[in-house]
Chains A and B, each alone.
Chain A
Amino acid sequence: MTVLLDPTGESSPVGVPRAERPASLDGKVVGLLDITKARGDVFLDRVAERCAERGLEVRRFAKPTFTKPAPADLRYEISRQCDVVIEALAD
């Protein structure tokens, strides 16, 4: 038998269940998160229009840079203000 040393981080991430999917968007606040990649705004502008047509309240957010994870404060703010969030990823 050979004994080896584990090269990994040995961390067991805590599983966080996804929020329940709402049956309907009626009366929900929709967050639109722009990660600031090129033309993400084009996509989100169109989504905002479609939401407005359905009478939904929309709130817009943006990451400082697409190359880094969203800051914790921004994630918290979105979770406080919105029921659902749509994120535009890229290009």
Chain B
Amino acid sequence: MTSPPTLPDGLVVVVKRDCATCRLVAPVLQELAAVEPLTVYSQDDPSFPEGVAGVVDDSGLEVSYRLDLDTVPTLLRVVDGAETGRTVGWHRERWEALSGHAGLGAGLPDQRPGCGSLSVDPDRVDGLRVRFEGGLLHARRVEIASMEDEAEAMYDRGWTDGLPVVAPTEARVLRMLEGTGRAPDDVVAVVPPDLVPCTVEKVAINAVLAGCRPEYLPVVIAAVEAACTDEFNMHGLLATTWFSGPVVIVNGPIARRIGMNSGGNAMGQGNRANATIGRALQLVVRNVGGGRPGEVDRATLGQPGKYTFCFAEDEAGSPWEPMAVERGLPAGSNAVTLFAGEGPRGVVDQISRTPESLARSFAACLRTVAHPKLPLAFDATLVVVPEHARVFSEAGWSKARLRAELGELLQLDGDELVRGAGGIEEGLPAAFAGTTLPKFRDGGLLIVHAGGGAGLFSAIIGGWASGKVGSQPVTREIAR
């Protein structure tokens, strides 16, 4: 992220006295200084190395930081102000090749590894990042008095979802931004309900609040992008009196790489990535978009998944293609799928050993989403656990087959759906008597594989007003 320093032409070397390899190569620096322009930057002592003229004091570490050094000594070749090559530590052949001078360091060993650059010292790097990159951050600075309790101050400002948050200091936000290749001022999305343009920086600040690690940030960014589409309709999802909130389902190798849980307790507590990615999305909606309970969020009861609801699909253990692939992305893609979901409910079937029987259990439970007499109004996500998936895979049922069979089983008799049928006033107008209606619209039933190895309990996540009048599931590739 940082811009490179202005360097003089010729050879440039960065050293520190505290490094044995730097002291070892001090005579070599004298040899080089005698034959061509050489500029030495010293990190800890401008009187080192002795006998070389014009050593530049880099104890502020700005040049070292901007060169993105890991190691001293580092030797660079600079032509017309631009770096054309570098080598680290002492390695005679490489030093000779880069400098164009043979016979360097007679009497020295052929090579020695270098030492850590002070610019990556764990005790200093955060401070350096703030000093040299803090100017990239545009968010308003909020000063908290030293006697003030940070956690309380953040509650008082309305920044939290009710749970404590991590203080978004400049150092933490800059560290978070290391997780993405995108520039801090890139606009990710326009966030409802206030329709505020949200930059990568604002997402990163809220990811810090939520407790994310930097490697989660690309997932959070993709989730924010998906949530703020017209199809997903985050505004309506907030404003509804219904229970639903954004459910984030992650596909692709990134899930395992950042340590997400797709196995036992995948939808439960205890995994940092699952917990904080879903929470970061909600905090962006709350803080950037202004979507707060009691204001635009009009939920009658809400549900605990509105703190966070995020899990990964178990692709490795699944007999079926990943959901993101089914939804059109290439195999191996990293992706988020957002679904407007209520809390999960269990489906018990510990007896069925045939796919026909198990599909009937699923269908019977799916019919109850929102209300057993209401068709076409709400989508659903069916989370099939490994022990249930095995019943289908052993019988050769693809996911498409399961979906088609469920579609057949969920053709509902209009006579049972009309108002008054079954002694229940809720239902469809009388004109639907004598018709047949599907429970779910086309594309309104997602199927995903997750969960622990033991347990014949799958789950249904009921949706919200579906399709164009409400919310459509949205899948977005995760960019680096």
* A6→B153 CA distance, assembly (Å): 12
B143 touches A68 (CB 8 A): no
B288 touches A4 (CB 8 A): no
Pick from B169, B240, B471: contact of A3, CB below 8 A: B169
Q: Which residues of B contact A79 (CB under 8 A)?
A: none
Query: Which residue of chain A is the closest to B150 with respect to CB atoms?
Result: A2
Query: Which residue of chain B is the closest to A3 with respect to CB atoms?
Result: B141
A3 touches B198 (CB 8 A): no
A9 touches B167 (CB 8 A): no
Pick from A2, A3, A6, A68: contact of B233, CB below 8 A: A68
Q: Least Cβ distance of A34 to chain B in Å?
A: 14
Q: B196 an interface residue at 8 Å Cβ cutoff?
A: yes
A1-56 residues with Cβ-Cβ distance < 8 A to B are: 1-11, 13
* A10→B138 CA distance, assembly (Å): 11
A9 touches B141 (CB 8 A): no
Known contacts A2-B169, A4-B167, A65-B468; A9 and B289 CB within 8 A of each other: yes
B205 touches A7 (CB 8 A): yes
Size band of the interface chain A makes with B: 10 to 19
* A65→B145 CA distance, assembly (Å): 48
* A67→B236 CA distance, assembly (Å): 5
B287 touches A7 (CB 8 A): yes
* A8→B140 CA distance, assembly (Å): 9
Query: Which residue of chain A is the closest to B284 with respect to CB atoms?
Result: A7
B2-28 residues with Cβ-Cβ distance < 8 A to A are: none
B287 touches A68 (CB 8 A): no
* A90→B461 CA distance, assembly (Å): 25
A6 touches B469 (CB 8 A): no
Q: B283 an interface residue at 8 Å Cβ cutoff?
A: yes
* A86→B446 CA distance, assembly (Å): 39
Query: Which residue of chain A is the closest to B145 with respect to CB atoms?
Result: A1
Q: Which residues of B contact A67 (CB under 8 A)?
A: 233, 236, 239-240, 465, 469-471
* A6→B288 CA distance, assembly (Å): 10
A4 touches B142 (CB 8 A): yes
Among B137, B139, B235, B241, the one with the most A-chain Cβ atoms within 10 Å of its Cβ is: B139
Q: B202 an interface residue at 8 Å Cβ cutoff?
A: yes
B437-469 residues with Cβ-Cβ distance < 8 A to A are: 465, 468-469
Among A2, A4, A10, the one with the most B-chain Cβ atoms within 10 Å of its Cβ is: A4
Per the CB 8 Å criterion, the residue count for chain B at the interface is: 42
A69 touches B235 (CB 8 A): yes
B101-160 residues with Cβ-Cβ distance < 8 A to A are: 137, 139-146, 150, 154, 159
Known contacts A4-B141, A65-B470; A9 and B236 CB within 8 A of each other: no
A6 touches B139 (CB 8 A): yes
A53-72: CB near B (< 8 Å → 1, else 0) gives 00000000000011111000
B286-303 residues with Cβ-Cβ distance < 8 A to A are: 287-290
Q: Least Cβ distance of A63 to chain B in Å?
A: 10
B206 touches A7 (CB 8 A): yes
* A45→B437 CA distance, assembly (Å): 29
Q: Least Cβ distance of A13 to chain B in Å?
A: 7
Q: Which residues of B contact A69 (CB under 8 A)?
A: 235
A7 touches B168 (CB 8 A): yes
B235 touches A3 (CB 8 A): no
Known contacts A5-B169, A6-B142; A68 and B235 CB within 8 A of each other: yes
B141 touches A68 (CB 8 A): no
Q: Which residues of A contact B471 (CB under 8 A)?
A: 67
Q: Which residues of B contact A2 (CB under 8 A)?
A: 143-144, 146, 150, 167, 169
Q: Which residues of B contact A5 (CB under 8 A)?
A: 137, 139-142, 168-170, 173, 201, 205
Pick from A9, A13, A65, A66: contact of B288, CB below 8 A: A9
Q: Least Cβ distance of A16 to chain B in Å?
A: 14
B143 touches A7 (CB 8 A): no
Q: Which residues of B contact A4 (CB under 8 A)?
A: 141-144, 150, 154, 167-169
Contacts A4-B167, A67-B465 aside, 11 further interface pairs with beta carbons under 8 A come to: A3-B144, A4-B168, A5-B137, A5-B169, A5-B205, A6-B141, A8-B159, A8-B287, A9-B287, A11-B196, A65-B469
Q: Which residues of B contact A (CB under 8 A)?
A: 137, 139-146, 150, 154, 159, 167-170, 173, 191, 194, 196, 198, 201-202, 205-206, 209, 233, 235-236, 239-241, 283, 287-290, 465, 468-471
Report 10 cross-chain contacts, Cβ distance below 8 Å, ordered by A residue. Answer: A2-B169, A3-B144, A3-B170, A4-B141, A7-B168, A8-B288, A9-B194, A65-B468, A67-B470, A90-B241
